[in-house]
Amino acid sequence: VQLPERVVIYELYSNDANDMHYRAKEKITQKLECSLLVVCTEHLVVCQEKKLQSMFFSGQSEKEWNFDSPIRYIKIIGGPPGKEGLILGLKNGQVWEVHLDNIHPLLKVTVNDGIRCLDLSQKKQKLAVVDETGLLQVFNSKSGDLCFQEPNTNSVAFNNLYEDMIAFSGNGSLAIKVLDFPAHRQKMSGFVVGLSGAKVFCLNGSSMVTLELPLSAPMYQYIDRKMYNEAYKVACLGVTDGDWEELGHSALENLEFEVARLAFVKLQDFSYLELIQDLQEQQRKGDTNRDSMIGDIYSHRGKLKEAARLYQKSGQEHKALTMYTDLRMFDLAQEYLGSSDNTDLIRQKADWAKNINEHKAAAEMYLSVGDTQSAIDIYGEKGWADQLIELGRRLDKAERPALLSIAEHLKRLNQASYAAEIYRRLGDSAAVLSLHVEAKEWSQAFALVQTQPQYKSLVYVPYAHWLAENDKFVQAQKAFYKAGKPEEAFKVLQQLIENAISECRFQDAGYYYWIVSRQFLDLAKENIDNQNELLLNFESNETLAGIYYAFHAVHRYLEEPFTSYMPEALFNIARFLMTETCQNKPRGSISAILYCLSKQARKLGANKLAKQILDKIQTLKIPQKFQEQVEIATIAAKARPYSDPEELLPMCYRCSTYNPLASPSSRCMNCGQKFVHSYVSFEILPLVEFVLEEDITDVEAVRLIETPSNDKVKGESWKQEISENRETLQLDVDQDKDPFTSGVGAFEGGDGTFFPVVVNRKTLLSMDSTAVLISKWNPPLRYQYYKNLLPELQITMCHSCFKAFHVDDFELQLLQKGHCPFCRAPPENFLTSDSSDDLLI
């Protein structure tokens, strides 16, 4: 510091370069005439007009340099102690370099105007000069070439830590410039006097200001040019962490690993350091796929799309897949499925996805590697029927196991119709059937069976079970039977019969026996070996059916306070039962039948029968509740005449014999002809069964009978005679004998052998078809023919059970019940109105 009488030299008080505390070091007590003053290690350099003079701190002057023009600016440019260099700017625009140990100055450059300010760069490679006009010029200090110039500048300073950075002020702004990049400007008034790292020293009026300079701009300029080493250097001068980060990433993405590493070291970002290490390792191993590496970097930074794109570009889709799946971004991962043969990898990923419950993605991945089964298992496990259906439709028929598995799952998921679709495609009718069966879609199942009868048992058996479970035993039984499981069918029937009897539903029991008998008949048709046995079974069961059917009325009469039956009907029923039960012992109460019969007999005045019956009852164990009444009736019967009225006696329409009421047989005692009962009123019908001559077939017989009367050879008179009444028939019209009347002697065999009425072709032809009833049994049975001897009494026959009825009775029953009272077959003409269950069968 120059004072009027002396010069004081200060030095830094502490070692801290930024500290501004100084202490006095030397004092030169001399009055110095000078305009500029600088201090070096060992010298003080003063300048007065055109003269430059160096002196020791003692005040003794050493050297002197003289110039042509006044010195305007002086700056120390460093050097060894005692040999420091100075640059001088002259008013005439010359720039001189002076070294304290050298008396010869060196002209550096000359500018057009007087020097206002100048500076030399850190490495002395550049010289900046500002002249009086405010023009800044930067020269190469060696060659003197102009690097660039900038007008409107008042001051300039190179960065003393970084060669390529220069700061200059002027026009109200401070500019920072590196290399030949555009200068970065910020507002500032005053003069820049120094630049050290990121610090700018500025003189503003009379105060010196230190500014922290943002060096981001120059750093980014370097980054833009991909000059990472330079950028790093600038960054080292002082930039924010954000800038460091940007530098690190930018360097990394350009595979400038060293700069990137340094940046991340600065940031202490170990994750990136690790990545860099990995990448460098890769590089060393010779894997230098740039896209792939940058992809890794992008993915690390979270720029997934770019990463994936690069992976794809480098042909390493598996990396994209791995990246996305690791991030559980399965939707995106899918785009990279199947594009190359990463089967193992994808399978691995799929396994993993499955483990973390990303089932959808897992399934897709399995599918992409052709592991259909695993995908199906997932779908199945999750119950995703839609996906299963969709997959099922996509799969080829050849992938049978997969399709079957899908079908299984669909079945389990109650998607039977879709499962069926698959089975149908596979041509597996049996599976389709069992599907319908499992779903209890009987109508579909039966429709299928119709076209493929070989699968009958697949449907009928489960159907029967289902029916049985739903208390539809009758249909169940039919189903078993249809399925070719007669034992099962019989079992069901047996159960039905048991139940019906124990519940006193005797009519039902009768019906079930009827079904049993029909089954035996059907079996007999197929089994030639034991046909006879089966036919016997048919007969006995049919009889039982009749007995239970009839017993129903007796039971109701005894159990219910009122009865809708006329005494005659009850009488007939009871008598029918009495005769029938002589041969067949049903598990019903015989005593109940007899008791009923005795009561009706008494009511109708058949005292003889009543007494006979009561005597019989005495020998039986009878229910307690009838005991007293039976005893009373027995006593009362003794008071009545021991006879039966003739009109009650059953007359044989073949031989006109009156049979006793108490007859134990259902046949005429005289001729052995079997009585035919109406199956509603149980009256004896005027029907006489006849058989054909040996060589006549049923077909021919029916044809002969049905030949219209006017075509008949014998004319009307004969027929007329027959239809009048049976007495007149005894008058022989022709030499041909009427077998129903004239053959009286035929049945008098004497030894009890029964001779049926045998009819020849001629007689058949002569018969009026309306007076003939035919039981058209299926084989192996033959037709049974009955002639109505009282044709004016209209008699009809059920087309199914061939029981005979008075037409009125039968039609009433049809109206009331809709079916035959005995076998429950609907009338032939409205079969279609049957219940759906029956229809199925």
The contact set with Zn ion (CB under 5 A) reads 652, 654-655, 657, 668, 670-671, 673, 798, 800-801, 820, 822-823
Which CB, 244 or 810, lies closer to Zn ion?
A: 810
Given the complex with Zn ion, which of 537 and 666 has the nearer CB atom?
A: 666
- Cβ neighbors of 443 (< 8 A, separation 6 or more) are 836, 840
Least distance from C-beta 820 to Zn ion, angstroms?
3
321, 346 Cβ separation under 8 angstroms: yes
Taking the complex as a whole, the smallest distance from the CB of residue 654 to Zn ion amounts, in Å, to 5
Residue whose CB is less far from Zn ion, 388 or 759: 759
Provide the CA 626 distance to its chain's centre, in angstroms.
69
Nearer to Zn ion, 384 or 810 (CB): 810
- Pick the closest to residue 212 from 227, 187, 231, 195 (CA basis): 195
Q: Pick between residue 172 and residue 749 the one whose CB is nearest to Zn ion.
A: 749
Instruction: Read off the tokens for 330.
Output: 């399965």
Helix (H) or strand (E) holding 809: helix 807-817
Q: Which residue has the tokens 């625009």?
A: 93
Asked if residue 455 lies in contact with residue 435, where contact means CB atoms within 8 angstroms, the answer is: no
DSSP letters for 61-93: EEEEEE-SS-EEEEEEEE-STT--EEEEEETTS
Of the two residues 55 and 801, which places its CB atom closer to Zn ion in the complex? Answer: 801
User: d(Cα 456, Cα 484) in Å, to the nearest integer?
Assistant: 8
Judged by DSSP in three states, 552 sits in helix
Kindly give, in sequence order, each residue whose CB lies less than 8 Å from that of residue 403, ignoring residues fewer than 6 positions away.
392, 395, 397, 422, 425, 426
CB of 797 to Zn ion, least distance (A): 8
Considering beta carbons, is residue 39 or 652 the nearer one to Zn ion? 652
- On the CB side of 198, how many CA atoms lie within 13 Å of its CA? 16
Task: Report the half-sphere exposure of 454 (CA within 13 A, side-chain side).
Answer: 3
Nearer to Zn ion, 236 or 669 (CB): 669
Nearer to Zn ion, 320 or 801 (CB): 801
Residue for token pair 């001897």: 789
Least CB distance from residue 395 to Zn ion, whole Å?
A: 55
Name which of 670 and 794 has its Cβ closer to Zn ion. Answer: 670
Looking at beta carbons only, is 299 or 673 nearer to Zn ion?
Answer: 673
| Residue partners of 207: CB distance under 8 A and separation at least 6 | none
To 5 degrees, how large is the angle CA 662–CA 665–CA 667? 120
Query: What does the DSSP assignment read for 716-763?
Result: HHHHHHHHH-TTGGGS--SSSPPTTTGGGGGG--SSS----EEE-HHH
Backbone angles phi, psi at 16, to 5 degrees: -75, 115
Task: Please name the residue that has the structure tokens 């009852």.
Answer: 617
- Least Å distance, CB 608 to Zn ion, is 21
CB of 671 to Zn ion, least distance (A): 3
Q: At what angle do helices 442-451 and 429-438 cross, to 10 degrees?
A: 160
Q: How many CB atoms lie within 10 A of CB 495?
A: 15
Output the smallest distance, CB 449 to Zn ion, in A: 28
Residue 430 beta carbon to Zn ion: minimum distance, rounded to whole angstroms: 37
DSSP H or E run through 688: strand 687-692
Locate 472 and state its tokens.
């539809």
Radius of gyration over alpha carbons of the chain, in Å? 65
CA 323 to chain CA centroid, nearest Å: 29
CB 643, min distance to Zn ion, A: 22
The candidate with the shortest Cα–Cα distance to 307, out of 317, 316, 294, 326, is: 294
Smallest distance, Zn ion to C-beta of residue 690, A: 14
Nearest-approach distance from CB 666 to Zn ion, in angstroms: 12
Cα 117 to Cα 90: distance, rounded to the nearest angstrom: 10
Judged by beta carbon, residue 427 or residue 745, the one nearer Zn ion is 745
Q: How far is the CB of 533 from Zn ion (least distance, A)?
A: 25
Q: How far is the CB of 810 from Zn ion (least distance, A)?
A: 9
Cβ 475 to Zn ion shortest distance, Å = 18
Cβ proximity to Zn ion, 260 vs 814, nearer residue: 814
Q: How would you class 795 by CB atoms within 10 Å of its CB: exposed for 0-12, middle for 13-18, buried for 19 or more?
A: buried
432, 434, 440, 442: CA torsion to nearest 10:
70
Q: How far is the CB of 431 from Zn ion (least distance, A)?
A: 41
Alpha carbon separation from 458 to 406, 431, 468 (Å, rounded): 22, 10, 16
72 versus 824: smaller Cβ distance to Zn ion: 824
Min dist CB 432 to Zn ion, Å, is: 38
Q: Nearer to Zn ion by C-beta: 560 or 647?
A: 647
Residue with token string 């360097």: 251
Looking at the Cβ atoms of 673 and 741, the one nearer to Zn ion is 673
β-pairing, 687-692 with 757-759?
A: parallel
Cβ atoms of 803 and 826 closer than 8 Å: no
Nearest partner of 174 among 158, 160, 153, 159, judged by Cα: 153
